Chains A and B, each alone.
Chain A
């Protein structure tokens, strides 16, 4: 089984700060999805990265896929309280199912 580690596990910051969360795999993978889950809701797909070295931007969120295709990061610029939630990464290796990390729980306070 491919191990997927997310760090940090918890993050509490103030509005306006920048942050980066990480997703690391024990082996190479073909694609990775990032999700955000708000309390009491299901995860919502943010982005899929598929190419080594790829960078994707979604407003204040920047997603990067490592060159070696074993890691990915999510950077949030000027965090807002609406960014609060659990950030999950899930990786796919051409199978039907995704393997998910345990997530990074982010709290942004005003």
Chain B
């Protein structure tokens, strides 16, 4: 079974703090993703990475950065946390099918971040 783990299930941080969210997958997947999930807004893509040291902005990258130094690990960084970044953060990794024309994503359990 694919396993995607996230470093914390719950996190409480103060405004202005630098926050690191870690994600590890154990299936050698090429692609990794960070989403945030908010009521009424659904899943929104923050950043994704298709290879080590490669990253692409998603729909809402402002206020976030990412790091992928090893294939299995993808980190999300909140440079200076703000209250509007209180949310559920979900990491995912994906594998293409044998023809490489569609991808299935596998999610971690999520990190509920509260910024006070």
Q: State yes or no: do A and B come from one complex.
A: yes
Q: How many A residues face the partner with a CB closer than 8 A? A: 24
Binding site of A, secondary structure by majority: helix, strand, loop or mixed?
Answer: loop
When A41-B110, A42-B110 are in contact, do A33 and B42 touch as well, CB less than 8 Å? no
Q: What's the Cα separation between A71 and B90 when bound, in Å?
A: 26
> A44 contacts B107, CB within 8 Å?
yes
When A88-B43, A102-B41, A103-B42 are in contact, do A96 and B103 touch as well, CB less than 8 Å? yes
Closest to A29 in B: B102
Contacts of A102 in B (CB 8 A): 40-42
Contacts of A31 in B (CB 8 A): 101-102
> A33 contacts B105, CB within 8 Å?
yes
6 contacts between A and B (CB under 8 A): A33-B105, A40-B110, A42-B107, A43-B107, A92-B102, A102-B40
10 extra A-B contacts, CB within 8 A, seeds A41-B109, A42-B109, A103-B42: A30-B102, A31-B102, A41-B110, A42-B90, A43-B107, A45-B105, A45-B106, A48-B102, A96-B31, A100-B43
